[in-house]
Amino acid sequence: MSTAKMQRQRRKLAMAAIAGLVTFLLLAAACYMTGFPTSAAYQPTPTVVAPMPPQHACQDSPRAEGTSSPGDNLGMRHSKIDAQLPRFSRVVNVGFEDITAEDPDRIPEIARRLNSVRATGVSLSIGRLDWVAFPWPAQRDVESSEVTQTGRDYVAEAIGAFRCDEQGRPRTIYLNIDTLLGRELERRPSLAGINSEGHPSKNWASISAWKEDGLDTRLVELVSEAVRRYAPDGINVTELMFPGYTFGEDDLENFAKFSERPDWPRSADGTIDSTSEQIYLWRSNAVTSIMKKVAGSLDETGPVLTMDVRSPANGDPRGRPDSGQDYGQLLNVVDRLNIWNFRGIASSNRVSTDELVQRYMKQEPEKYSLEIGLWEGAGSMDSSSVSKELLNAEDHSLLHVSVTPTSLMDDSIWSALEGAWSQVPATRPDAD
């Protein structure tokens, strides 16, 4: 090729490049003016995500400054002093089924209800170790089907809707983590606890699975992720107990290490003595050590730590050591215990509210909360019973009361809350 021809070819290429650059710049300018992202042509089609409710900064809230939305964590950190347990609380528990409800009006409806009953706080069930209500790129296998299908951060949406009342006053936000395992035990049946008759559980993992197969670490990871994302006022752990499925071979090895006994305690007929004090001590040590690990992951800037516990079954002042829930041991680790008052679950409510007050709340009122459960079943509470329990709590001047879950609250239950909590002073100690 001649030199002149080569020069003409170079000029053509240069002109084409200049024309392409000009076209790109014109397109970029047009995109900038219309607000369309310049890289849209090169991006894959994004998952359609429902818009979040409007975010409002609460008055006198540690979240009020420098916060864009729940989930980004920037500017949401607050000191342990700011996050101390409120001296007074009336909390409503919102279940996973409501947080992830398909009905777009469900969360706004609950927000209105919270205003009507003057709730000072809300506890949000964000999921289990194997089933969570928010996108978690690092652990996609534990995202719930609702998250997988929509890409939505249901936790962030709920926090945005509930974090402050209609007067702009901040509510205490607790994130509730359920430690039962369903899907995980189907995938890894070796983790399931075994009862004294040799049958595996569909929900309870063994002590050895928690202590030696890493479930305690997974709980810490989930807590840490929730704190990093949402900086809640509190983390609550529920269903962490060992009521009976602790008799597999792996658990026997763990028990032997703890008790220095080669075998389970036995009854006269040779069967396992499941009421043995040694077994109670072992279970309580396991639960307390798991919660201690969780507490150790929460630094001075982190949230407070609370835990749900079963109501006592008898006069044992320790609470429920048969399930591994020794109240005194746990209060050396957590900030507060929520004692279940679940009349619809016979195994969870053996003593009256009056007895609970005398045994625990009256002695350390700031360390215990009464949690009223609406679970269906024999003995479950109707609105009249709920009203009676709520008013009884007010008569005893209990500092902390909660009701669960919103999915079982009809108009009559909400009216019972409104009637009982309307007696609460307008200026609440935790909203000062």
pLDDT in tens, 60-87: 544 433 333 444 433 333 334 444 556 8
Contact 138, 213 (CB under 8 A): no
Q: HEC states along 30-45?
A: HHHHHCCCCCHHHCCC
Per-residue pLDDT tens for 227-238?
Answer: 999 999 999 999
Both structure tokens of 144: 């719930």
pLDDT value at residue 81: 40
pLDDT value at residue 358: 94
- Whether residue 405 is preceded by a cis peptide bond, meaning omega within 30 degrees of 0, is yes
- Say what the pTM is: 0.81
Per-residue pLDDT tens for 182-199?
Answer: 899 999 999 999 999 999
Q: Among residues 328, 279, 284, 336, which one has the least CA distance to residue 308?
A: 336
CA distances 243 to 9, 52, 246, 336, 343, Å, are 84, 40, 8, 21, 18
Strands annotated E in 72-171: 89-94, 121-128, 131-132
**What is residue 303's DSSP assignment?**
-
Residue with tokens 């999921």, as numbered in its chain: 127
Both structure tokens of 175: 């994130």
pLDDT value at residue 313: 87
Angstrom distance (rounded) from CA 189 to CA 203 = 10
Contact 155, 133 (CB under 8 A): yes
Both structure tokens of 55: 């975010």
How does DSSP assign 51-73, residue by residue?
Answer: PPPPP-PPTT-TTSSS--STTS-
Angstrom distance (rounded) from CA 116 to CA 165 = 10
Strands annotated E in 120-230: 121-128, 131-132, 172-178, 192-194, 200-205
pLDDT digits (tens), the chain, 432 positions: 444 434 444 554 455 555 555 444 444 444 343 333 333 332 333 344 444 444 456 765 444 333 334 444 333 333 344 445 568 899 999 999 999 999 999 999 999 999 999 999 999 999 999 999 999 999 999 999 999 999 999 999 999 999 999 989 999 999 999 999 989 999 999 999 999 999 999 999 999 999 999 999 999 999 999 999 999 999 999 999 999 999 999 999 999 999 999 999 999 999 999 999 999 999 999 999 999 999 999 977 679 999 999 999 888 999 999 999 999 999 999 999 999 988 756 555 567 889 999 999 999 999 999 999 998 766 678 899 999 999 999 999 999 999 999 999 999 999 999 999 987 664 444 433
Angstrom distance (rounded) from CA 326 to CA 317 = 9
Backbone angles phi, psi at 57, to 5 degrees: -80, 135
Angstrom distance (rounded) from CA 73 to CA 51 = 19
